[in-house]
Structure 1
Amino acid sequence: MDANQFSDLLKRYQLGTCTEEEKKWVEGWYSERRNNIYNPLTNEEEALAGQRIYSNVMTVLTSEPQKNVVPLWRRPGAWWVAAGTLLFMATTWYFVMNDKQVTTQTVEVQKPVIQTTVVPGGNKAVLTLADGSTIVLDSAANGALTRQGATMIMKKQDGELVYKTEGRHGQQAVAMNTISTPRGGQYQVILPDGTKVWLNAVTALRFPASFTGNERVVELTGEAYFEVAHQSSSNGKGNRPFVVNIITAAGENRVEVLGTHFNIKAYNDETSIKTTLLEGSVKMSGLKGQYLMKPGQQAQIDRSGKMALDEDADVEEAVAWKNGRFQFNNANVEAVMREIARWYDVEIEYVGKVPDEKFEGEIPRNSNITEVFKILELSNVHCKIEGKKIKVLP
């Protein structure tokens, strides 16, 4: 079990959603380490420590949140401290109240009865070829799928599509392909030049089956993470630029790349287009200006075309989706619910006033919808599900 799996297990234990077998494993793990590490106290000292811990826990639970920012849980770098502290506080009080006798006690956790077919998203996409024919990638068999000119298209494994150009293709007609993910879908594609692209839900990437000319140009709607491969220009002088044309209802914007890692978020239901740079250098261009970006920066273009540059962007938040997490930094309820709607393929309806809480923390993207509801309820946001619709209650 690696650190991320152990962290998820502790979170489920805290929420009461783990299985009985997992519960016994966690309690046995803690009991063993407590006997080896936390046993230097006398009975009197341990009783006093237990009283202080219980008092501190009650103070935290009954105190008002500051600035309406609700921490879901700590960031990955501090997961061990956070999980260990919570578990130690809870179990120390339990052991003190039971006079240091370690026993396994079955606790009934009442879970809400939710009849739903809502599940987390997965690897789902459709490939549309130049002639208009389509291939449903999640149900297609692994191996060679088809050929576009001199390029062979292969599905190597679930969630990865590979374009491989064989030999020189000359001046052939450009065959444009489109890979698109639905709500609740994601996919990965390796383009003919070796560039790797991760597609989030509700995303479409249009690209040629083989790149020709002085630029490598693709079109994007939705959200994608790019790792652009270096490629020399046709005249052998410098690198051939990689260009992403961002297509939204508000117009077209452009990101020009020489070789880098970056994320573009360009959904029509978001208030702005965001390009976040992790490595290398990109030039973000809009109708009202452009920015030459450095790693750690995020360029934003709002619906009016106004541009802004965040020089100290939260890079982890921008790419958390690619790494299997939702991550929020002072996000409002509507922003959180938009992410949930896209990934779980549900419709969101607000009953009454939209709650004004702010969220900070993360949720694993493989969490079932019941676990997500429990986390939101801890933040005083209550939801009810009806079929494929989530109602956010006042």
Structure 2
Amino acid sequence: MDNTRLRYLLSQYANKMLTAPEQSELSDFLNAADNQTQLELLIEEAWIQSGEEADPTFPLPELKPEPVVMKPVYRQRWAAAVLLLIVAGGAWLLATRERKTSKVAGPVTENKKEDVAPGGNKAMLTLADGNTIALDSNLNGALTPQGNASLHASPGLLKYDPGHPSVNSGVAYNVLRTPKGGQYRLELPDGSRVWLNAASSLKFPTAFVGKERRVELNGEAYFEVAKNAGQPFFVSVNKANIAVLGTSFNVMAYADEAGIRTTLLEGAVKVTGGTASSLLKPGEQSLLEPDGKIQVIEKADIDLAVAWKNGLTSFKSADIKTIMRQVERWYDVEVVYNGTIPARSFTGDIPRDANLSELLRLLEISKIHFKMENHRLIVMP
């Protein structure tokens, strides 16, 4: 079978549109070991081509194959179309191998007990007096008041009602921390909303008094800031300062990333680091590098920046180590590397509520393999 016919059948398979004769044709072809080798070579070729631009008229049908649950990112790029081929071919390849051998290389199929569940809504709240409260999806109801502010917890959300604060009453600070494998939402006393990603923390006052509103972030968070021109909003993160009037933006400032990325969805923010500063417009992203320089990406990938907040683990032209940093934070596993890992770039997204095995299966198709040992994810060539 030539590659053009094979691509067509895989596309039909991915979209569950195979006719009975086509199903039989594809099954007969791929059940032969030599033909599975051809499929692997086709997938390898697709990975190599994944960075090339596409004809904007190329159709991008919705993809929900089994057993791989990855679907393409819907952008006008060849990478999305190539991912259709990769996932469809990989799904068929893995399925036929499982039927034949009942054992597929990978951390989950070798031992189902080794699979890792995704993270969820959990955090720790540190009060002004040093006491802590564990927050999770089951907590619901009023919590201990903080100063004049009353607190209310509902599944995955902590809300502050400021009451009637005054400057004379003093300012108390709380800290919300998410562990690896955790996320949480927070409504600040001024009505601003914050989505806190895994392995992150936010320090904030229980009431905003004075001339400004200021919070301190470590890790990653998405902000929807309540407008108040008379009391500007500031986010302090590492050595950077982000000034806000009223806007929606994402800040990623993990210590193990290359710099601090601020992505603006609407409104305006000013990013300052050292002596450098940049005023962002909607759709732009700044990268504050460790040396204090600021790069501005004018046409930023907004969907990619906020994918985590929208329930997706997402990556675009990312190498394996970039993806594994997300895996460590969301699945709370330690990642170690064994041997020389092939250079590959990956584009795709998968629901954050998917088990780790569902993400790893697709990556294994590109000749990168994984093994779980005592909650350590070992990456191998």
TM-score normalised to structure 2 length: 0.77
1:322 aligned partner = 309
Q: How much has 1:312 moved relative to structure 2?
A: 0.9
1:287 aligned partner = 274
AA paired with 2:343? D
Give yes or no for the alignment of 1:172 onto 2:169.
yes
**For 1:60-83, what per-residue CA distance to the aligned partner results, in whole angstroms no more than 9, with x for missing partners?**
7533436746696421479xx979
1:217 aligned partner = 214
Please point out which of 245, 255, 262 is paired with 2:242.
255
AA paired with 1:75? V
2:339 aligned partner = 352
AA paired with 1:127? L
How far apart are the structure 1 equivalents of 2:252 and 2:300? 14
Aligned pairs for 1:267-306 (under 5 A) are 267-306=254-293
| Higher deviation after alignment, 207-216 or 69-78 | 69-78
| Higher deviation after alignment, 58-67 or 145-154 | 58-67
2:232 aligned partner = 241
AA paired with 2:45? P
How far apart are the structure 2 equivalents of 1:373 and 1:134? 36
1:264 aligned partner = 251
Please point out which of 316, 337, 350 is paired with 2:324.
337
Q: How much has 1:379 moved relative to structure 2?
A: 2.1
AA paired with 2:360? F
Q: How much has 1:107 moved relative to structure 2?
A: 6.0
Please point out which of 117, 120, 133 is paired with 2:118.
120
Q: 1:326 to 1:284 in 2, by over 3 A?
A: same
How far apart are the structure 1 equivalents of 2:114 and 2:327? 15
Sequence identity percentage:
42
Q: What RMSD over aligned residues (CA atoms) do the two structures have, in Å? A: 3.4
Give yes or no for the alignment of 1:75 onto 2:73.
yes
Give yes or no for the alignment of 1:154 onto 2:134.
no
**For 1:289-347, what per-residue CA distance to the aligned partner results, in whole angstroms no more than 9, with x for missing partners?**
11110111100011222210011111111000011111111111100000001000000
What 5-or-longer segments of structure 1 have no aligned partner? 1-10, 15-25, 36-45, 91-105, 234-239
Q: How much has 1:243 moved relative to structure 2?
A: 0.3
Alpha-carbon contact 1:179-1:205 (below 8 Å) kept: yes
Bigger Cα Rg: 1
Q: How much has 1:168 moved relative to structure 2?
A: 4.4
Please point out which of 136, 139, 146 is paired with 1:138.
136
1:65 aligned partner = 45
AA paired with 2:242? V
Give yes or no for the alignment of 1:192 onto 2:189.
yes
What 5-or-longer segments of structure 2 have no aligned partner? 1-10, 52-69, 90-97
Alpha-carbon contact 2:137-2:156 (below 8 Å) kept: no
SS of equivalent residue, structure 2 residue 168: coil
2:228 aligned partner = 231
AA paired with 1:349? V
Q: How much has 1:267 moved relative to structure 2?
A: 0.3
How far apart are the structure 1 equivalents of 2:181 and 2:373? 18
Alpha-carbon contact 1:324-1:364 (below 8 Å) kept: yes
Q: How much has 1:377 moved relative to structure 2?
A: 0.6
How far apart are the structure 1 equivalents of 2:48 and 2:242? 36
Alpha-carbon contact 2:222-2:251 (below 8 Å) kept: yes
How far apart are the structure 1 equivalents of 2:37 and 2:110? 29
How far apart are the structure 1 equivalents of 2:325 and 2:266? 28
Q: 1:341 to 1:218 in 2, by over 3 A?
A: same
SS of equivalent residue, structure 2 residue 367: coil
Alpha-carbon contact 1:69-1:357 (below 8 Å) kept: no
**For 1:273-298, what per-residue CA distance to the aligned partner results, in whole angstroms no more than 9, with x for missing partners?**
10000111110111141111011110
